[in-house]
Amino acid sequence: MREQASQSPGQNRARQRTTRRGAAAAAALAAGILTLSAFTPPPATAGRDAVQQSLNTLVTSDGFPAALAAIQDRKGHTRNYTAGVADLTTRAKVPVDGQVRIGSNTKTFTAVVVLQLVGEGKIGLDTPIDTYLPGLVRGDGIDGSRITVRQVLQQTSGLPSYTNDDDLEPRYYEPRDLLDRAFKHKAGFAPGSKWEYSNTNYVVAGLIVQRVTGRPLAAEIDQRIIKKIGLRHTYFPAPGDPTIREPHPKGYAQDAPGGPLSDITEMDPSWAWAAGQLISTNSDLNRFFSALLGGRLLHPAQLKEMRTTVPAGSPFAPNTRYGLGLLSTPLSCGGVYWGHGGSFPGYETRGGATDKGRAANVAVTLQPTDPKAMPRVEALVDKALCGAG
């Protein structure tokens, strides 16, 4: 979920608190609590370019156990980088292009499926969500007859986020359980009157997909995106599955700077669902965003709608703009890149692609407690897309 580490879309704080409970139990079972201050990461293989050097610094100076990057040039050639260790206990090497939980990058996948259905005439962007989910979206100031599909995708609906509470546990949730949590709170604002990040919007979007197609969201994402463009290392975990299938670095949680690290790699991801449940790799994310910008997933009219943006506020960086599940972020060398990014307990991912054909994604294996750490990850993305390395 493309958020700053200091506050991953409102939910990051809630997730970190949630994660601590799950992580504490996991650590007790494994008797495997590590202290970051006592851990000195080994230097990564000496890099000859600025990308590798920056990745090394994320480990040695910012304290991420592992950092991974995939950089795709304009010809489609990919170079992968790693730094740190995949497992703080065994000191195993970081798998090249290892799988990670990609958090809110999932929102872009969900939005693409919705927009494909718009192109097929099955969903209307400016149609009220009550048309597809009659009577489901109701609460204090919440009325699904006044909220459009576009507002849901663009985070302008006013729906409160189900991740704002402190008691979200890492267990199995049905999508409607998440809506029940959200609708205990009143609407944040009148639909269309402002912008505010809420995971609830994408749970609603996922339910619309299921109602319109009569199929699970996971199956639609798999058929319409993953298989269509050959994302060989991307999948939507089955309900209740806490594992990561392929080689991956472990994900860690930390309550405070210098505090203990807990292995939280395995957890039920259903609480994130259409907003953040996918597992993928950096190179697959590059392929996805490149295919999206290249017109392989959407008709021109729907891609134009997706790229029509409004100013985004917290938790995103200044001058970031939000489209329909797609962010534009300014580059230091001019222009913008398009992506989303994601936060999921144990993992942070940042990256995207440019209209000129470059793509870059970076993943780290800790949601940092230092608010200055994630901007350095984002700076690495900028460096890669502006031609370093």
Instruction: Give the residue numbers marked as catalytic.
Output: 104
24 token code pair: 């504490």
Residue 143 C-beta-side C-alpha neighbours within 13 Å: 7
Instruction: Tell me if 338 sits within 8 A of 278, measured CB to CB.
Output: no
